[in-house]
Amino acid sequence: MNMDKVIFLALEEDQAGNDVTSKNIVEKNAKAAAVLVAKEDGVLCGLDIFKKVFLKLDKNFKFKILKKDAQKVKKGDIILTMKGLACPLLSGERTALNFIQKLSGIATMTNVFVNVVKGSKTKIYDTRKTIPGFRDISKYAVRCGGAQNHRMNLSDMVLIKDNHLALVDDLSKKVKEIRKKHKNLLIQVECENRQNVQNAIDAKVDFIMLDNMDNKMLKKMITLIRTQSTKTYKPEIEISGGVDFKTIKEYAKLGIERISIGMITHSAPSLDMSLEVKVSK
């Protein structure tokens, strides 16, 4: 989505142009300076969006950027300084902070998971469990955290989930039909049991997702997939469901290629920051 639209909607939602407090407290031509400060350790993401929020309110804001997206910050670090008219600075403060705090929170949580599997062959992927309209920037935050993006939308890849399988009689036949129509699209199947896995192998899909399986079942299904792989067909294995900080380390030890985690976008807490404002001459 065009970020200008997202920012416009966010400012409209907050009625930043009708800030009755700032307009009645601050003189129209009063100027102010501010510093953006990290209040806890984390990974930074969203600086451009932070700036754009203010520039939508007044194109004359000036910024000095001291940190970069994807860079780690420590509590107390100054991320940027800015100067401009005081009223639009105050009016845009919360919207700008909402963006950068949420995105930095996603990048920070993602980075924790990435560091846990560091040194293994396993890569961390996100999902489509994002705030509506927030997809592109959420997935950008995932990349800043060091992980990979799963499909961006429904047109990127064929992902046959449990509800699709309930309506399919012959998976191999359907996969062949799809490959004829969409030669360049990768195909993944979500599997919840042994029969799902065997059907996915028989259909020769590109990725097999093992969803919400316990460790015992996971090991059996991984062995099944590996033993039936050949020189010409070796699907990548993805684990999804039930992934948290306790389970991910054990999953990575299984030698699988991918782990997808919904919580890095739908449950990441915002990274605490503050915008400290003072009068500027």
Looking at every residue in the chain, the average pLDDT score rounds to 96
Catalytically annotated residue among 39, 67, 129, 179: 129
DSSP sequence for 109-178: HHHHHHHHTTTSS-EEE--S---TT-HHHHHHHHHHTT-B---SSTTSSEEE-HHHHTT-S-HHHHHHHH
Listed in sequence order, the residues at least 6 apart from 124 whose beta carbon sits closer than 8 Å to its beta carbon are 110, 113, 114, 117, 146, 147, 148, 259, 260, 261, 264
Residue 190 annotated among the catalytic residues of the structure: yes
Catalytically annotated residue among 151, 190, 238, 258: 190
Q: What is the pTM of this model?
A: 0.95
Check if the beta carbon of residue 42 is closer than 8 Å to that of residue 107: yes
Tokens 């007044």 found at: 58
Tens digits of residue pLDDT in 195-213: 999 999 999 999 999 999 9
pLDDT score for 144: 98
The 3-state DSSP class for residue 78 equals: strand
pLDDT score for 279: 80
Residue 211 annotated among the catalytic residues of the structure: yes
Tokens 């920012």 found at: 7
The angle formed by the CA atoms of residues 273, 277 and 281, to the nearest 5 degrees, is 150
CB count within 10 Å of CB 151 equals 18
Listed in sequence order, the residues at least 6 apart from 147 whose beta carbon sits closer than 8 Å to its beta carbon are 110, 113, 114, 123, 124, 125, 126, 264
pLDDT score for 2: 75
Tens digits of residue pLDDT in 56-69: 999 999 999 999 99
The 3-state DSSP class for residue 3 equals: helix
Residue 129 annotated among the catalytic residues of the structure: yes
Cβ-in-10-Å burial (0-12, 13-18, 19+) of 30 comes to middle
Is residue 129 scored above 60 in pLDDT? yes
The 3-state DSSP class for residue 245 equals: coil
Bridge partners of 73, per DSSP, are 42
Catalytically annotated residue among 69, 77, 126, 211: 211
Catalytically annotated residue among 39, 51, 67, 161: 161
Residue 170 annotated among the catalytic residues of the structure: no
> For the chain, which domains are there?
3-113+268-279 (3.90.1170.20), 157-261 (3.20.20.70)
Check if the beta carbon of residue 180 is closer than 8 Å to that of residue 211: no
CB count within 10 Å of CB 203 equals 21
pLDDT score for 41: 98
Tens digits of residue pLDDT in 2-54: 789 999 999 999 999 999 999 999 999 999 999 999 999 999 999 999 999 99
Is residue 1 scored above 70 in pLDDT? no
Catalytically annotated residue among 39, 83, 94, 204: 94
